[in-house]
């Protein structure tokens, strides 16, 4: 019997072709662009559920917190997570509707 190629992929398929295809329902980039940030912040959002996103606000490490005496080589981590949130995000006719998830721990400094 001859093997036939199937269209689509099984759940969990992590082939390069599948990873390269954009998921139109993933709003991570739009969410990151819509959130408020402080100067120097980088926001990284990851879709963790159908309408749930984990967003981290990365900020430059304060120079006074770096102890140069302890670094023999290159400083690899120069940013830290300043804030972290789980957000429920949907799209409406007016744009994105973003609200904090209830019952999820949030880390703020």
Averaged over 23-47, what is the pLDDT? 93
- Report which of residues 80 and 11 the model is more confident about: 80
Question: Which residue shows structure tokens 């880390």?
Answer: 107
pLDDT over 70 at 16, yes or no: no
Averaged over 51-67, what is the pLDDT? 82
Residue 13: burial class (beta carbons within 10 Å; 0-12, 13-18, 19+): exposed
HSE-CB at 8 with a 13 A cutoff on CA atoms is 2
């Amino acid at each position: 019997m001859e093997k036939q190629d199937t269209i689509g992929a099984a759940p969990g398929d992590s082939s390069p072709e599948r990873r390269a295809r954009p998921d139109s329902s993933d709003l991570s980039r739009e969410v990151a662009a819509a959130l408020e940030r402080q100067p120097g912040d980088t926001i990284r959002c990851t879709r963790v559920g159908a309408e749930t996103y984990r967003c981290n606000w990365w900020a430059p490490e304060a120079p006074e917190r770096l102890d140069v005496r302890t670094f023999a080589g290159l400083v690899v981590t120069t940013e830290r997570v300043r804030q972290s949130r789980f957000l429920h995000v949907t799209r409406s006719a007016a744009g994105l509707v973003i609200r904090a998830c209830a019952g999820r721990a949030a880390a703020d400094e």
